[in-house]
Amino acid sequence: KQEVTQIPAALSVPEGENLVLNCSFTDSAIYNLQWFRQDPGKGLTSLLLIQSSQREQTSGRLNASLDKSSGRSTLYIAASQPGDSATYLCAVRSGGTYKYIFGTGTRLKVLA
Amino acid sequence: NAGVTQTPKFRVLKTGQSMTLLCAQDMNHEYMYWYRQDPGMGLRLIHYSVGEGTTAKGEVPDGYNVSRLKKQNFLLGLESAAPSQTSVYFCASRRSTGTGAHEQYFGPGTRLTVT
* Closest approach of A104 to chain B, Cα-based (Å): 4
The per-residue DSSP string of A26-69 comes to S---EEEEEEEEE-TTS-EEEEEEEETT-SEEEETTEEEEEETT
Q: What is the pLDDT of residue A98?
A: 81
**Contacting B residues, span 19-48, partner chain A, CB-CB under 8 Å:** 31, 33, 35, 40-45, 48
Q: Do A99 and B108 touch (CB under 8 A)?
A: no
| Nearest Cα residue to B105 out of A91, A96, A105 | A91
pLDDT by 10s per residue, chain B, length 115: 679 999 999 999 999 999 999 999 999 999 999 999 998 888 999 999 999 999 999 999 999 999 999 999 999 999 999 999 999 999 999 987 666 567 899 999 999 999 9
Q: What is the pLDDT of residue B101?
A: 62
Burial of B62 (C-beta count, 10 Å sphere; 0-12/13-18/19+): exposed
Find the mean pLDDT for residues A42-57. Answer: 92
Position with higher pLDDT, B63 vs A41: B63
- Check: CB of residue B108 under 8 Å from CB of residue B8: no
- Which residues of chain A neighbour B105 with C-beta distances below 8 Å? 46
Sign of CA dihedral B89, A36, B53, B44: negative
Q: What is the pLDDT of residue B96?
A: 74
DSSP assignment letter at A98: S
Q: How far apart are CA A87 and CA A102, in angstroms?
A: 13
Cis peptide before A8 (omega within 30 of 0): yes
Position with higher pLDDT, A67 vs B42: A67
Q: Do B42 and A100 touch (CB under 8 A)?
A: no
